[in-house]
Structure 1
Amino acid sequence: MSNINDHHFTFPAIRGIQAGREYFVSMCPLGLVHKIFKFDEEELSPELRAQRILNKSRVPEIARYITNNPDNYVFSAITASIDGDVKFTTINNTPEAQRNGFLRIDMNSKIIVNDGQHRRAAIEMAIKEDASLSSESIAVVFFIDRGLERSQQMFADLNRHAIRPSRSLGLLYDHRNDMSKIAKLVALKSIAFKGLVEMERSTLSERSRKLFTLSSIYTGCHALLDAKELSDESNASKLCITFWDEVSKQIPEWEMVQKSRLTAGEIRKELLHSHGIAIQSIGIAGSQLLSEHPKDWKQKLAALKNIDWSRSNAKIWEGRALVGGKVSKTYNNVTLTTNLIKQKLGLKLSPEEKRTEEAYKRG
């Protein structure tokens, strides 16, 4: 761990070489992170900064992640540049030990975070709520500062190849989110979706044999379930499976794809009912249907058969689910698609939905 003495920070460290330059890997107690690592929050123009502006709305969310998961949170290393006096002392001079030693950094040095500024701020916030976190640690990679241009280039390089996982893959691997667990169960066990869900990607190619994405199933189930129903994961999953299986009875093309009578690409190209906007809108309408007709909702749901899902029917879908012939999933488009489904199911529109519908008809 790091120590503070004799006007120096001392870190146990491993020395490495990258692009012909030294760098050092160490650990830092969480309680010292905000004291040692600085983040330049001055209102400087972008060309005079080496970092993005701190997005303060993200910090509480990351802090909650730490405090809500004290036994299994995980953080990647903070990357920092040192502008000041640095000395690395090896443990001894044997060849195998020359990479290991102690990194001494003058306390007057400026240590700037190149990558991990939101983690740094969130750690500080989390420790205020749970002081016991102070003794835990985070990995740190230190580079020697070579001026603003080098720091800016480091930021660009560190983020150049950073690609967020698809939403579907993130949901697939998320075992903390109850809603993602429900969506996975529905995707795997429902008759409606079995064998038809792309679990990794959030977009489907024309040649994909899948008809739905896990992210669209998640959104549809989330729209269907009332918040109170999430308290019982087993019953919530059963409700979703029952509902979507009943929906599939009204949309025969889904089963035809399962039995290889039609291809998924053909259905997605010609019809709207497997697209994310339709799944979400059916879920929203379904939530109201279950609430208002708890005993006869299945009979009411049969009206879905009366909807013409053809993308070629511009009179119905252009401006509602399509814009210029392409599927659009803006808030207004979701509302307008939901309105059509609700009207077919004999459900009343909310005041906001009515306003949106009237504006659409005037347009």
Structure 2
Amino acid sequence: MQQTPSIINLIDPIANGKRPSANIINVSTQQDAQTQAFADAATSGARVFLCHVYQQGGRSHLVFSLPMNILVELAKLQSAETKKNKSDVEEKMNRPKIPSHVNDIAKYLLYTDKYILPPFIFNCNTPLKVFSYGTGPVQSGYAIISSNIELYVTDGQHRLEAIKKVLPERPELKNDSVTVLVVQEEDIDQIHQDFADCAKNQPIPKALRAAFDVSDTLSKLARQISQDLVIFTGRIDKISGSVGKAPDYMFTMNQLRVGVAEFLFGSSRKQLFESHVNVNRAEYEKMLTNTKYFYTEFAKHNEVWTLLFQPASQTTGLNLYEIRQKRIDFNSVGFQIISRIGHLIFNQTPVLSDVQHETLIKTLANLDYSRECQLWQNSVVTDKEDKQGNITKTIVNHQTTVNKGYKIAVRELENRTGITLI
């Protein structure tokens, strides 16, 4: 004799029971749940999807794994428009779409084989019928989704648009699946709150992202250089946003990454180095070899950088914070200037000889990088007076500072070597 199913119409207790929640019908076995779900769906032309059911925050949540083509078919957007909804954005379910964000995700999906996408969060304002089985805080079940069910994206609209964009170019993604969490909610204020709550995660610091994100060519190069070159090994802060007063670190991982971008591409502008994201193995090895050679040769001929050839674990009495207070080359701005000139040296037309490369790098390394040097005054370095009337030499941390310092250093190299660079 078949056991009578236990029907649990879960109504959110908030708002006096007005919000719909999932219509959970709990049965004894997996076979019973499957049989009844498909029988129910057959009467209405609905489809059946496997799911997990659990409670969170007074609401029932349903978790699905859906192929991307089904995701695109089921998901609906109601995005605010930047121009049309300035005064009534709260009436739309989704924030305005940011095309650049969509493009970033699309590039990631196109060029990354081992990609990963976070779960999508959908909202459904119509109770979904679910035949569940099992006991405990998480149950398995079969959800019935008819053609009139509307599943609006609460979190993931940019990922959804990116998937739509890349599927024609990479149709094999249709065979991949994503995780979807469906929350039963009809109150638009709560839907907005759900989105805001999802956005409260702490962003990954740039330094840590540069250390972890090896799908990005530039980050991968910077990480490998930080590991392979003794001058950087153990002296790059791979977590923090700034090195502050730390005596053991030269740069953050992101600062190293920016410097490497200047050397490789002559600029650290995002749109420039992103155009080199999809390099082949030979191109990558050439980039790595040139970068290692440049920084190693520079360090050989610079009186302070030479000290870095001793491993960090064996170095004593070298306070990099104190050095940063006296010099510009141990600050990000100075490092970018040096790196950009390296790019210029390696990308001259006509191509410079090996002897000219060596001469220019040696001369670059022998420039005076102290903050007191007149070469950098009122461009890279400016005088700043404190409350006691003391004057300190302060580095101007701005991209225009890099541009000015670069031009000054190029003129100085040309005057000292007689080699025309620009």
Fold similarity call, TM over 0.5: yes
Query: How far apart in 2 are the matches of 1:307 and 1:232?
Result: 31
2:128 equivalent to 1:86? yes
C-alpha deviation, 1:206, in angstroms: 0.9
Pick aligned residue for 1:177 from 206, 216, 223: 216
Pick aligned residue for 1:74 from 116, 135, 138: 116
Residue of structure 2 equivalent to 1:355: none
Structure 1 residue identity aligned to 2:336: Q
Equivalent pair of 2:46/2:144 in contact (CA under 8 Å): yes
C-alpha deviation, 1:23, in angstroms: 0.9
Residue of structure 1 equivalent to 2:174: 134
C-alpha deviation, 1:253, in angstroms: 2.6
* CA offset digits 1:136-194 (Å, max 9, x no partner): 2110011111311101111111111x223223322322333333333223222224323
Query: How far apart in 1 are the matches of 2:290 and 2:166?
Result: 37
**Is the alpha carbon distance of 1:323 and 1:100 closer, same or farther for their aligned partners in structure 2, counting shifts above 3 Å?**
farther
Query: How far apart in 1 are the matches of 2:330 and 2:280?
Result: 25
Residue of structure 1 equivalent to 2:62: 24
Query: How far apart in 1 are the matches of 2:381 and 2:180?
Result: 48
Aligned alpha-carbon RMSD (Å): 3.1
Residue of structure 1 equivalent to 2:412: 344
C-alpha deviation, 1:205, in angstroms: 2.4
C-alpha deviation, 1:328, in angstroms: 4.3
Equivalent pair of 2:222/2:257 in contact (CA under 8 Å): yes
Query: How far apart in 1 are the matches of 2:191 and 2:122?
Result: 9
2:338 equivalent to 1:299? no
TM-score (norm 2): 0.72
Query: How far apart in 2 are the matches of 1:48 and 1:234?
Result: 52
C-alpha deviation, 1:266, in angstroms: 1.0
Equivalent pair of 2:80/2:89 in contact (CA under 8 Å): no
Residue of structure 1 equivalent to 2:11: none
Structure 1 residue identity aligned to 2:296: D
User: Partner of 2:343: helix, strand, or coil?
Assistant: helix
Query: How far apart in 2 are the matches of 1:135 and 1:348?
Result: 56
Equivalent pair of 2:112/2:215 in contact (CA under 8 Å): no
Equivalent pair of 2:237/2:252 in contact (CA under 8 Å): yes
Aligned-pair identity in percent equals 19
Query: How far apart in 1 are the matches of 2:280 and 2:372?
Result: 38
C-alpha deviation, 1:315, in angstroms: 8.0
Query: How far apart in 2 are the matches of 1:58 and 1:187?
Result: 29
2:105 equivalent to 1:65? no
Residue of structure 1 equivalent to 2:29: none
Gaps of 5+ in 1: 351-363
**Is the alpha carbon distance of 1:315 and 1:249 closer, same or farther for their aligned partners in structure 2, counting shifts above 3 Å?**
closer
* Mapping of residues 259-270 of structure 1, within 5 Å: 259-270=315-326
2:286 equivalent to 1:286? no
**Is the alpha carbon distance of 1:27 and 1:321 closer, same or farther for their aligned partners in structure 2, counting shifts above 3 Å?**
farther
**Is the alpha carbon distance of 1:251 and 1:48 closer, same or farther for their aligned partners in structure 2, counting shifts above 3 Å?**
farther
Structure 2 residue identity aligned to 1:66: L
* CA offset digits 1:110-160 (Å, max 9, x no partner): 322111111111111222223332232110011111311101111111111
Residue of structure 2 equivalent to 1:357: none
* Mapping of residues 236-275 of structure 1, within 5 Å: 236-256=287-307, 259-275=315-331
User: Partner of 2:65: helix, strand, or coil?
Assistant: strand
* Mapping of residues 27-46 of structure 1, within 5 Å: 27-43=65-81, 44=85, 45-46=88-89
C-alpha deviation, 1:89, in angstroms: 1.4
User: Partner of 2:167: helix, strand, or coil?
Assistant: helix
Query: How far apart in 2 are the matches of 1:223 and 1:341?
Result: 15
Residue of structure 1 equivalent to 2:204: 165
TM-score (norm 1): 0.83
Structure 2 residue identity aligned to 1:212: F
Q: After alignment, is 136-145 or 231-240 more displaced?
A: 231-240
Query: How far apart in 2 are the matches of 1:209 and 1:66?
Result: 38
Structure 2 residue identity aligned to 1:280: Q
Q: After alignment, is 97-106 or 24-33 more displaced?
A: 97-106
**Is the alpha carbon distance of 1:59 and 1:85 closer, same or farther for their aligned partners in structure 2, counting shifts above 3 Å?**
same
Residue of structure 1 equivalent to 2:4: none
Query: How far apart in 1 are the matches of 2:138 and 2:258?
Result: 54
* CA offset digits 1:32-73 (Å, max 9, x no partner): 222211111343333333432111222233223223334x22
Residue of structure 1 equivalent to 2:53: 15
Q: After alignment, is 253-262 or 329-338 more displaced?
A: 253-262
* CA offset digits 1:235-281 (Å, max 9, x no partner): 43222222112212343333446533331111223321112222222
Structure 2 residue identity aligned to 1:336: K
**Is the alpha carbon distance of 1:219 and 1:321 closer, same or farther for their aligned partners in structure 2, counting shifts above 3 Å?**
farther
User: Partner of 2:178: helix, strand, or coil?
Assistant: strand
* CA offset digits 1:268-311 (Å, max 9, x no partner): 23321112222222111112223443322222233335544334
Residue of structure 2 equivalent to 1:117: 157
Structure 2 residue identity aligned to 1:18: Q
C-alpha deviation, 1:79, in angstroms: 0.7
